[in-house]
Amino acid sequence: MEEIVHDFFPFMRVYKDGRIVRLMGEGFVPPESDPETGVQIKDVEIDPQINLSARLYLPKNVDSVQKIPLFVYFHGGGFVIESASSPSYHKHISKVAAEAKVVIVSVNYRLAPEYLLPIAYEDSWLALKWVASHIANGDGDEPWLKDHADFNRVYLGGDSAGGNIAHHIAIRVGLEKLDGMKLEGIFLACPFFWGKDPIDGEGENLGSKDVIEKLWLFVNPNSSGLDDPLINPEKDPKLCSLGCDKVLVYVAGKDTLRFRGFYYKEVLEKSGWPGTVEIVEVKDEAHVFYLSATEAENAMAMIKKLASFLNQS
């Protein structure tokens, strides 16, 4: 029997001979228009040299000169699985584009362990800079962005590890700025945050801490641990620099990470950041519930709430 050196079942396994076997998130949906929603879809290369790409979504009935909000999305998967072209994300993001009537750039950042952190963060920042290259007088040549993206109404979002990425990219926007782009808000669904010391509600989940710490040090072996600011926002002295005015956080009632979602709201409000945070808890649902049941009532309610958030003036 082959020896497993890293076992993250049901997501992936790494064997002694170096083989990496992803057990889920490997499906691929071609970038074809969604017949159900009428959303147009295509894949674009951002930097072919590092295999950085994105999947773009344009809702139907957008006229040739109409500017609509831009939503840059980072998929989840613990930094190790999934992609912008996997069936669950393809379906979910299509529904968001149709309901919210926004242009969406779903980023295909590189995954660990082949590309350890901070590569996912750096890829995501490069992707946002590529998006910003389409602002007036920029050198970007993607027509969906040049013709339809309103760069005064930009949002970032993501779920699980992607929510973690969206948060950190928003902080970088606050610190470094992108001329001509206004980041209005960020959407974090079941965000992947943790910490060394348990917070209220986590006392009975010590096993979860062990799993999360093992995964975190696997994808980021140079990390200081669970109080690294990359996974514990409370320990980040730059938290107050979050570069937007509003945040919407979704947590699931059966998700171990839900306590960290509530705690994120608490520490962000105490940091000196001047914006507003809203948190929504969906009872009796598990982690990233909207991906496994895209048509379910709670999933559709979340999409409608997100659509409203993305169209606030």
- The residues carrying an active-site annotation are 160, 255, 287
At position 75, the amino acid (one-letter code) is H
Angle, CA of 297, 190 and 310, to the nearest 5°: 70
At position 184, the amino acid (one-letter code) is E
131 close to 153: Cβ distance less than 8 angstroms? no
Q: Cα(first)–Cα(last) distance of the chain, in Å?
A: 59
